[in-house]
Structure formats: structure tokens, C-alpha cells
Amino acid sequence: MPAAPRPALLEALAKVPGVTATEGVANFDGVIGVAIGRSEPERKGQRHEVIIDPETGLVIGERYLAGTDPGVRPWGPGGEIGLSAMELTVVDSAPDPTSV
């Protein structure tokens, strides 16, 4: 997403009921950002978050947290059950998509 509309998107996310932000969250590569997500009541509180670089506003990863179900093993309630990292690189050119 271009930089100009990013603040509006983050502001809209902040208005969704139940959405919260957690500072100091590392993505899979260890890069620290702000995790924005929502606990899902219909999934026993399972939480899906996007991790955003606070300086650039770019998405740098995602994480999934177990909900309140104690049967989620080996993580247990609230444990991290999924984590990813994303990296953006600017290049001079890209392959022609019709040649694939």
C-alpha cells in the first residue's frame, strides 16, 4: 500500500471494536514492531495480529495467539501458535508477468 493512505487504514483499524495494539512485538526475523489485532470470541479468544514497523507503517509480519482453550498444546492459553516475517525490497525492474 502506498504511504499516503496508510495512516487512514491504521486509523480505521483502530475503530474496529475489540482491536488493540501491542508495542515491542518481534516478527519471525526478530524485527520489532507494533502488533495490531483482535481476539475472536467465537474462537475461544484466538487472536490474529499484523505486525507493523512503526517508522515506515509497512507490514513486517503476522502472528497468531492461542485463545483461552487450555487444550491447545503445547502452547497453552495465549501462547504464540504462528509467526511470520515479511520484507519489502525495491528493485529496478521486475519480470514480465505474461512470460511466467
In the sheet that holds 32-40, the strands lie side by side as 19-26, 32-40, 46-52, 59-65, 80-83
- Grid cell at residue 63: 502472528
pTM check: above 0.85: no
Report the distance separating Cα 63 and Cα 26, nearest Å: 9
pLDDT of residue 23: 93
Give the model confidence (pLDDT) of 78-88 as tens digits: 777 788 898 87
Question: Would the pLDDT of 49 be above 80?
Answer: yes
Report the distance separating Cα 50 and Cα 45, nearest Å: 16
Question: Would the pLDDT of 99 be above 90?
Answer: no
Mean pLDDT of 67-95: 76
Mean pLDDT of 29-52: 87
- The H or E element spanning position 82 is strand 80-83
Question: Would the pLDDT of 44 be above 70?
Answer: yes
Instruction: Provide φ and ψ at 14, rounded to 5°.
Output: -65, -20
Q: 27 Cβ partners below 8 Å, 6+ apart?
A: 33, 51, 60, 61, 62, 63, 83, 84, 85, 86
pLDDT of residue 1: 63
pLDDT of residue 86: 87
